[in-house]
Amino acid sequence: MRCEGLGLTSAAAVLGDRIPLDAAIRAGHPAVADLDAQELASVCRGGRPPHESAAEAARLAWARHPERRDDTATALILASSSRMGHPLWSAASWLGAQTVGHDRLTHCGTVNALCAGSVHALAAAARLLTTEPHMDSALIVSSDTAEAMGADRWAFDGGVTLGDGAGAAVLGRQGRDPSAQLGSWALLSVSEGAHAGLEYLQRGDAEPGRERPAPMRYRELLSQACARRNVDVAGLKAQHAAMLTSTVDRALAEAGVDRSRVDRWALPFVGRLALQVGYLEPLGIDEAASTSVLGRTTGHLGGADALVALDHLESAGASSPGALVVLVGVGGGQTCSVAVLRRV
């Protein structure tokens, strides 16, 4: 979807303490050899539940939003795979009341797109502002911890170690003056893709709806699923690559550019080999154009990777006006969400 008159006016990130890799190895965590192969420097480990990190990131992003005092109709979209309180409590509504205020919150909801979470939420916010002209802005929040997801931080998957963190951003629209600058990043387009036939990869050998004991390891679920169905792993990689590249190219086409024009790629924070095989090779891009250096100090932050990367690019001054940045999120199921931004 091509986006007109929309832009990200602020971003924020809240991360757990960075645990150096050598300290994790000394502590005897599993999969030490795999951790080393990922070329990680550290992993973020939080000491608080994900709703608290989400609230801090949301407050920071909202405080940085220049039109926060003028907006009268705002949405809040929470993206998370973590358990936040009991099932009948709305963490999204609580976050909205804590940040935007209940008097101006006109839309509130939670999405679970797993590791595609924040980019999927951004795409949902863009569609909402496009179809609801009375709305001024949308606060997007994503927060996960390994513990709250019931996942094994250190042995989750080959090439993936989980970190704890939250990211947030505000999507606004152009005001009455069409010549006014629109925040820090103009949103040019969003695109989403899916291959629902691959949902069994996260289910393992269980029937649909069956619970799994924590801590879960995706590598075990994948192995069980492939063994049960005699799956060709090379074929799975090809299907993943096709979903990824088609979704990315559709977003770029809507924005009127191609891959060669992109300055930075905010890709999932996975280890070096997983990044190379799963993203760099299919997209035909160089690692230097990605945000992998940041990711190797945080670990994979679930759905928050893209917003944390965006906050880093903003706060570190790592992009100049006119630079094109592509946010990519890939979640189980499988799904892919992409957003194309231009630095204002």
Give the 3-state secondary structure of 248-284: HHHHHHHHCCCHHHCCEEECCCCCHHHHHHHHHHHHC
Take residue 13 and report the two structure tokens written for it: 């990130």
> Does a cis peptide bond (omega within 30 degrees of 0) precede residue 215?
yes
Sequence-ordered list of residues with C-beta below 8 angstroms from that of 19, at least 6 positions apart, any chain? 42, 43, 44, 45
User: Which two three-digit tokens encode residue 44?
Assistant: 């973020």
Say which residue the tokens 């190895």 belong to.
Answer: 25
Question: Angle at the Cα of 63 (from 60 to 68), degrees rounded to 5?
Answer: 140
Residue in 77, 291, 107, 91 with CA at minimum distance from that of residue 167: 77
CA angle 16, 17, 21 (to 5 degrees): 115
Per-residue confidence (pLDDT) for residue 175, from 0 to 100:
59
Position 132 scores a pLDDT of 95
Return the pLDDT at 176.
41
Token pair in block for residue 97: 């009341």
Number of Cα atoms under 13 Å in the Cβ half of residue 191: 21
What tokens does 91 get?
Answer: 């963490």
According to DSSP, residue 164 is labeled -
Q: Which two tokens stand for residue 118?
A: 């924040």
User: Kind and range of the H or E element at 58?
Assistant: helix 50-64
Contact between residue 292 and residue 267 where contact means Cβ atoms under 8 Å apart: yes
CB–CB of 301/318 below 8 Å?
Answer: no
pLDDT of residue 200: 85
Encode the chain (344 residues) as per-residue pLDDT tens digits: 999 999 999 999 999 999 998 887 777 765 555 776 788 899 999 889 999 999 999 999 999 999 888 899 999 999 999 999 998 999 999 999 999 999 999 999 999 999 999 999 999 999 999 999 999 999 999 999 999 999 999 888 888 999 999 999 999 987 544 544 556 899 999 999 999 988 888 888 888 888 888 888 888 888 888 888 888 878 889 999 999 999 999 999 999 999 999 999 999 999 998 999 999 999 999 999 999 999 999 999 999 999 999 999 998 887 889 999 999 999 988 999 999 999 99
Nearest to 1 by CA among 125, 183, 142, 133: 125
Residue 60's pLDDT is 98
Q: Which domains does the chain have, with CATH numbers?
A: 1-344 (3.40.47.10)
Cα end-to-end distance, the chain, whole Å: 20
